[in-house]
Amino acid sequence: MAQQLTAGGRFRKALAENNPLQIVGTTNAYHALMAERVGHQAIYLSGGGVANHSYGLPDLGMTTMNDVLEDVRRISSAVETPLLVDIDTGWGGAFNISRTVKEMIKAGAGAIHMEDQVAQKRCGHRPNKEIVSLEEMVDRVKAAADGRTDDDFFIIARTDAFQMEGLNAAVERAQACIEAGADGIFAEAVHTLDDYKAFSSAIDAPLLANITEFGATPLFNKEELAAAGCEMVLYPLSAFRAANKAALAVYENILSKGDQKDVVDLMQTRMELYDFLNYHDFEQKLDALFAEGKNK
């Protein structure tokens, strides 16, 4: 009997089988179900998404490990698709980072990424970021690698140095992180395909491109990014932003017009919802239980 893959093993399998691997953001378990159903091979939980969606807070390092773990458990319990999780700066020193990795594995994550910003972090596409020294980031990566209880668990080192110090400094950090135990590199706020090419040619590990809307990086196509050497393409909050705009339109319409007739076309139907949830399978089991009880 073949050994079942861990979440980390499933992430590595998806990475090996897709060039590039598209990783879509899912801020809740239901969005994860939809992403899995339509065929996505990997999903993502954004730290900013947890702060915004689950707590109504800005992405400024205000959430904790346990806040993120709650959403990891909910998503990983609903789907088999491997989940990449944003752990910000790791939530503390070396022992904290190692514990974070252990807890992420227990909660069902297949991969994490950790960044080189200071603890009081900002969104990677905002100005005035501050990054820690190369040595401190290397120590963070070593602590993460030491905390790994599954050899297949995938650790990605994110560097914000490109925007702060330029390409060469970012590449130097990436190389040092790989030597320290990182399995992949997340180059944040890169501006051009040529920069991605230079980055990928300089490192011996899969490179992730963060293609987030309204940020510093253009919305490159996955084929363009693959040609530039990117093995992973991340869409961290695309569905979240679309859902937010639709929700706002519904709230405003109900308030101004007194009903929702004009915005019904924005909505998923009841039957579409039931289909994604396999509602009728559950209902049939319930009907069978009631019928069995009546026949006793």
Catalytic residue among 12, 31, 53, 113: 113
* Neighbouring residues of 248: CB distance < 8 A, sequence distance ≥ 6: none
Cα–chain-centroid distance for residue 125?
Answer: 16
123 is known to lie in a ligand binding site: yes
Look up residue 157 and give its two tokens.
């080192």
Q: Is 235 one of the catalytic residues?
A: no
93 labelled binding-site residue: no
What is the DSSP annotation of 177-192? HHHHT-SEEEETT---
Phi, psi at 130, each rounded to 5°: -125, 135
Phi, psi of 112 (to 5 degrees): -135, 160
Check if 40 is active-site. Answer: no
Task: Out of 86, 103, 183, 231, pick the active-site residue.
Answer: 86
Q: Is 56 annotated as a binding residue?
A: no
| Catalytic residue status for 52 | no
* 86 labelled ligand-binding: yes
Q: Is 80 flagged in the annotation as binding?
A: no
- Long-range (24+ apart) CB contacts under 8 A made by 132-138 are 134/172, 134/173, 134/176, 137/173, 137/176, 137/177, 138/176, 138/177, 138/179, 138/180
Specify whether 44 is catalytic: yes
177 classed as catalytic: no
Catalytic residue among 210, 230, 231, 235: 210
Q: Judge whether 168 is annotated as a binding position.
A: no
Active-site annotation holds for 67: no
> Active-site residue among 36, 158, 231, 235?
158
Q: Is 59 a catalytic residue?
A: yes
- Answer yes or no: is 184 a known binding residue: no
- Catalytic-role residue among 18, 28, 40, 88: 88
Q: Is 148 a catalytic residue?
A: no
Known catalytic residues are: 44, 59, 86, 88, 113, 115, 123, 158, 188, 210
Report the binding-site residues for Mg(2+).
86, 88
